Structure 1
Amino acid sequence: MPAFEYVALDTGGKRSRGYLNADSEVAARRELRRRNLAPLKVGRAEGKRVRSAGVSLSLSRPRNLGRRDLMVFTRQLASLIEAGIPVEETLGLLSRQAETPALRRVLSSARSRVQEGGRLADALGDHPHSFPAVYRAMVSAGESAGGLGRVLNRLADYLEKADVIRRKIQAALIYPAALAVTAIAVVSALLVFIVPRIAEQFEGTGVSLPLPTRLMISLSGLLQEYGVVLLAGLAMCVLLALFALRSEPARHQRDRLLRGLPVTGGWTRDMEAARFARTMAILIQSGAVLPDALRASGRAAGNRAFAGTLEAVVADVETGTGLSEALRKSDWFPGLLVHMVAAGERSGALGDMFDRAAHQLEQDVDGRTATAMNLLEPAIIITMGAIVTGIILSILLPILRLNTLALG
């Protein structure tokens, strides 16, 4: 259904603008009159440009909501719905108060869909790139169970916690990344500018250069002759790798490889297990059916190999296998999670046990992440020191040999 942009007057004579979905411009004007709005201007949204707060927005390629917009919207929506305000009125209020054109466009469209009798989850489904599948699944479960406000509050907590962890990791990586770039620049400068000048001093001396010195001089010559070609080739390889990773099989292989690496494998497993447990806790406590909750958790997974594992779990559960037994068959799920799920199945408190397991797993992931970040900086410093020491030794060895010959 096409989207229309409108400018209209309400019963109080106040001018308002927004978007709605309709079959035609006539239907759009009819819908505006049904809402007690007097249309002043109605036009197709596609291909036009709207300026709002000094920002130009192309409606032919609308922007998606960012993480910050999604978090703020979810928290505000939860607060208003729990206060007893209807969904349609809540969306209209948030749309008028939206700070970004993208959020205003999405909320106006969702409000129009709700006004037409659709559910909020279906309205959000019109914008799949702004609202992930697991987000819509949680909203749908909340609507079905009659606890939409409670579910949205849990969802907002989940989004905010994930954002805090993401920001913490990004902040922790800034200094090591800057250190690594500096180290590469220093080593490259030594090899390209310093080593060749020192190597010139050994020419014509008749001294047999040690193996480390010959290797260093050869590497320096290689960088001088083909440095630009090597850099261009490296950039091309990175671009080709990024292009290849757009395909689903390549992503699946990459994720499977990450799971099998000795250092990142355990961390990847625990991180995906923690995300799975948190998603399952919210969905089950919201009243979602177990197979549907498992499918939504699979769509929320960041690792394709893990999502494939959950597909096998769903198949086992639908054939009558217990959830804990289905999870035990895979090596993706820690023993703690499997045992707590089994306890939840016996006690009938599966959602609560998922919540406890998620809390414990998240603490473990936070601890391992903090440890890894603390070890990364000294590891880079030690590596840089070892490389510089090797360069210095390769320079000093022939000097020491010359001194020995001179004294002899």
Structure 2
Amino acid sequence: MPQFQYVVRMKTGKKQTGKITAISQREAYEKLREREMRVLEVKEMPETLLNKEITFINPLKLKDFVVYLRQFATLLQAGVTVVDATRILANQTESKVLRCALESIEDELKAGRALSEAYSIHKRLFSRMFISMVRAGETTGQLDEALESMANYYEKQLRTRQKIQSAMAYPITVGIIAIAVVIFLLVQVVPTFVEMFKENNIELPWLTKMVISASGWMQKEWWIFFLIDVFVYLNFLLIIRKKGSKYYWDYAILRMPLIGKLLQKSVIARMARTLSSLVSSAVPILQALTIVEDVVDNEVVAREIRKSRTALQNGNPLSDPLKKHWVFPPLVSSMIAIGEQTGSLDQMLAKVADFYEAEVEIAADRFKSLIEPVMVVFLSAAIGTIVLAIMIPLFKLYNTIQ
């Protein structure tokens, strides 16, 4: 949530400055008024490392947003005014974040602002693409159709995202379980055998010595393990927030076996679906390409889209730069080229999106079927190594007793 810097005059007549968190400038103003302060100035603070809100996902759930768009379009088609529809949906939505935003939007609409302008106040909730589509719908007088189109778009995005999340859930879950079990064995189980080995003066093999050393380190220096995790996490945040380093991160991910192909198809599907929706809604092509750069959330693809926009500005076909890069299969550049030549770019892009959304589903199922045995082997190897390290000296001890 954004922060605002304010200047107020207290009841004593003294000026006071400070910071306040609110969804919009209007809400920040109202909060200060409720404290019985005379507001002199309220302005949004620029984002810095100190006040920047670190989030990977939009606080508004995509599922709630799709439901809202469907209901909003239905109300408008039934003849309900934009203001009344916004009030009705604000009262009935289950999302607290969306409710607060809609209440603020209702106030903006009553003050005479256009719906797209009211949405633009809440840029952390409503994407640049969505605002542009709403503005185009207002201009053409087809706002209900624009909202319906957006509902279809986000619904497909949600289905694709759920497929990828489902594919990734298994390896992540097994990985967490494996780490938890290994830590438990090293901290709780291995130490109980160490004293036994010392008392019986058993010569330990290298594998057992290594596991015992790891156990001792885990018990005494566990905080280093925690610091390493924090260090890796913070560096990851820095990498993905800088375009230069994010490019190499995205490049490496796309080149990874199995998961790389899945994510590549997902990004292409998102790019094609977004550009198709924008072009079909009469958003200017150069503006649409600028929006798509942000939406794809992949710097490798974003750079090529940037090159395509430059090529278009210079009078060259949009598809030319895409043909030269490995991230775009020939099908994509060929379909875009046909769309440019026939004047049906939005339709061609929609077909590309349909194809790759179907490919994502197939690739996700294939990924799950391939990764399951790999993760089982990984889990078995991790736990089996520790068990074997303990069992070898126990067998020696048993043979000595016999």
Q: Which SS does the other structure have where 2:32 is aligned?
A: coil
Residue 104 to residue 213, structure 1, CA distance change in 2 (3 Å): closer
The answer to whether the aligner puts 1:138 opposite 2:133 as a matched pair is: yes
| Equivalent-residue separation in structure 1 for 2:85 and 2:184 (angstroms) | 60
Q: Does 1:361 align with 2:359?
A: no
Is it true that 1:94 corresponds to 2:89 in the alignment?
A: yes
**In the alignment, does 2:253 pair up with 1:268?**
no
Aligned equivalent of 1:231: 225
CA contact (8 A) 1:317 1:326 kept: no
Q: For 1:156, what is the secondary structure of its paired residue? A: helix
Letter in 1 for 2:354: H
Show the counterpart of 2:238.
Answer: 244
Q: Normalising by the residue count of structure 2, what TM-score does the alignment of the two structures yield?
A: 0.76
**Partners of 2:186 and 2:215 within 8 A in 1:** yes
Is 1:379 aligned with 2:364?
no
TM-score (norm 1): 0.75
Greater C-alpha Rg: 1
What is the aligned partner in structure 2 of residue 37 from structure 1? none
Deviations 1:172-223 (A, max 9, x none): 6556544433332322222233333334333365654322222222222222
Any gaps of 5 or more consecutive residues in structure 1? 1-20, 24-42, 51-59
1:47 is aligned with what amino acid?
L
Residue of structure 1 aligned with 2:293, choices 292, 298, 305: 298
Say how many residue pairs are matched.
357
In the alignment, which residue of structure 2 is the partner of 1:213? Answer: 208
C-alpha distance in 2 between matches for 1:198 and 1:177: 31
Is the CA contact 2:163–2:360 (under 8 Å) kept in the aligned structure 1?
no
Distance 1:82 1:395 in 2: 71
Per the TM alignment, residue 48 of structure 1 is displaced from its structure 2 partner at its CA by 6.4
- Aligned position for 1:189: 184
| Whole-angstrom CA distance in 2 between matches of 1:211 and 1:135 | 61
Give, in whole Å, the separation in 1 of the partners of 2:77 and 2:179. 54
Q: Which residue of structure 2 lines up, in the alignment, with residue 202 of structure 1?
A: 197
Structure 1 position 76 matched with structure 2 position 71: yes
Identity of aligned residues (%): 29
Distance (Å, rounded) in 2 between the aligned partners of 1:180 and 1:241: 21
- Residues of 1 paired with 2:88 and 2:115: CA distance? 15
- The 3 A distance-change label for structure 1 pair 329 and 173 is closer
- Please say if 1:106 is aligned against 2:101: yes
Q: Is 2:31 the counterpart of 1:46?
A: yes
CA contact (8 A) 2:279 2:346 kept: yes
C-alpha RMSD of matched pairs (Å): 3.4
The residue identity in structure 2 corresponding to 1:265 is G
* Distance in 2 between residues matched to 1:103 and 1:392, nearest whole Å: 52
User: Can you list the C-alpha shifts for 1:210-266, whole angstroms capped at 9, x where unaligned?
Assistant: 22222222222222332x223332343245335535742454443343234344332
Aligned match of 2:152: 157
- How far has the Cα of 1:22 moved from its partner? 11
Equivalent in the alignment of 2:252: 257
Counterpart amino acid of residue 298 in structure 1 = E
AA of the residue aligned to 2:225 = L
CA-to-partner distance for each residue in 1:328-350, whole Å, 9 max, x for gaps? 13333222211111222222211
Q: Secondary structure at the match of 1:46?
A: helix
Q: For the structure 1 residues 207 and 246, does the alpha-carbon distance in structure 2 shift closer, same or farther, using more than 3 Å as the test? A: closer
Distance in structure 2 (CA, Å) of the matches to 1:100 and 1:345: 41
Tell me which residue corresponds to 1:40.
none
Q: Distance in 1 between matches of 2:224 and 2:117?
A: 51
- 1:146-170 C-alpha deviation (Å, 9 max, x unpaired): 4322221121012223223434554
Aligned to 1:332: 327
Indicate conservation of the 8 Å contact 2:134/2:143, yes or no: yes
Cross-structure match for 2:122: 127
Contact 2:296 2:302 in 1 (8 A): yes
Structure 2 portions without partners, runs of 5+: 1-23, 36-43, 46-57
Q: What is the rounded CA distance, in whole Å, between the counterparts of 1:102 and 1:151 in structure 2?
A: 23
Indicate whether 1:285 and 2:280 are aligned: yes
Alpha carbons of structure 1 residues 288 and 194: separation in structure 2 relative to 1, 3 Å: same
